[in-house]
Amino acid sequence: MYRNAMEKLIKWKGDPRRKPLIVKGARQVGKTWLMHEFGKSQFCDYVYYNFDEEDELKSIFEANKNPHRIIELLGMLGGKKIIPGETLIIFDEIQECSSALNALKYFNEKANEYHVVSAGSLLGTLLPKSFPVGQVNLLEIFPMTFDEFLAAIDEPLYSFYRQIEKGRSIEEVFHKRLLEAYNYYLIIGGLPECVSAWVQHKDPQMIHEIQNELITIYENDFAKHNGKVNSGRILLVFRSIVSQLAKPNEKFVYGCIKEGARAREFEEAIEWLVSAGMLLRVYNVSKPEHPLKAFDQLNYFKLFLFDTGLLKHMAGIDNAAILLKSDYQFKGQLAENFVLQQLHGQLDIAPRFYANNRGEIDFLIQNGMKIIPIEVKAGDGKSAASFKSYIKQKQPQTALRFSKRGYVTDGAITNLPLYLAAMTRQLI
């Protein structure tokens, strides 16, 4: 299974300013597999320690702060000599041992000749005192993007996909096949367990059952790792996402969680879910200008789910609606979630949106000093009046519309097929 993050890991390995690496991300996005694959393919050997499965590990870190002594004890525990530059050291589920997390700073200061990679779910929710700020490198892992999904399910089509260039039209036969793959992605999503099950078994019922199990795992995590945040409120926010997005303007409204709910009751729950990588938050901006972040309206935002396949499952959309019908309820929201999921992590500045009393722009992205408006159409329809009005008034250098139409420039608007959202950065 191909993951784009492998290239970042290889770059980290060769960086002379390298620090111990923490791989962040929601549970089940493929962190453990990626670290094992990195160890197998890029090192002579690797050692793997899991703090959730091996309780005796914790005592080593609780009793020692000298990284060389820790390495010696770990080698004895695993029965392998750990050689600097040749052996990758993997610490998994490191959030279960605050002493190990804290020890990473000593590896950076006193034993940086060793390559140390750590991973954990919910690391973003830890208290600041537990986190070795400034002493580690960070790499965030997300569910598989569309290109990674395509590489797993249809390698020849992926080879074609990689060759798509800016301004180059896409032959109809490939356009149709890629749209079909896009529909499959809406159903399966990008969580590696779902993708692997589809590749091996092609069983939609199995995907449905796995998604059910994953949601149960996530909801159980809310109670297990919530810290000081009320787990019931985390659960209420998580379960409200479908109804929040189903509203006409999709703005997050606290009263939709439960009657009479207020921001001060649920702000921490939202922060927990965003920090855990479970939700993607998009702020409205008061001005669609550079720098976007300066114009965030912190009380006006939308929340999307980190995986489109899970959102489809939680919304209860039947597979037949996606595969056979040109129109169905929640179609637009699913397409927006897909586009945001693909954009997430591509650019240095996270996407925003722009809404006022004259209309709404689905997303704004910042590329250098350019502000690029984005419209998302779930079908092959043309642009809304508000999008055209925005372009006429602001005259941006680039304007994008994602839809099921082909790759074509239509006046001031470039239409990108939805399946190209994962390539946005290369195509703008």
Q: Strand, helix or coil at 254?
A: helix
Q: 150 and 135, same structural domain?
A: no
How many domains are there within the chain?
Answer: 2
Q: Cα–Cα distance between 32 and 90 in angstroms, integer?
A: 9
Q: Cα–Cα distance between 232 and 321 in angstroms, integer?
A: 33
Q: Which CATH number goes with the domain that contains 135? A: 3.40.50.300
Domain closes at, from 122, 140, 158: 140
37 or 129: whose pLDDT is higher? 37
> Containing domain of residue 11, as a range?
5-140
- Please state the rounded mean pLDDT for residues 341-354: 95
Does the pLDDT of residue 130 top 80, yes or no?
no
Q: Cα–Cα distance between 375 and 29 in angstroms, integer?
A: 28
338, 418 Cβ separation under 8 angstroms: yes
Q: Give me the pLDDT at residue 239, please.
A: 97
Give the model's confidence band at 226: pLDDT under 50 very low, under 70 low, under 90 confident, else very high. Answer: low
Give the model's confidence band at 114: pLDDT under 50 very low, under 70 low, under 90 confident, else very high. Answer: very high
Domain closes at, from 140, 161, 191: 140
Domain closes at, from 140, 173, 198: 140
284, 301 Cβ separation under 8 angstroms: yes
Does the pLDDT of residue 36 top 70, yes or no?
yes
What is the pTM (predicted TM-score) of this model? 0.94
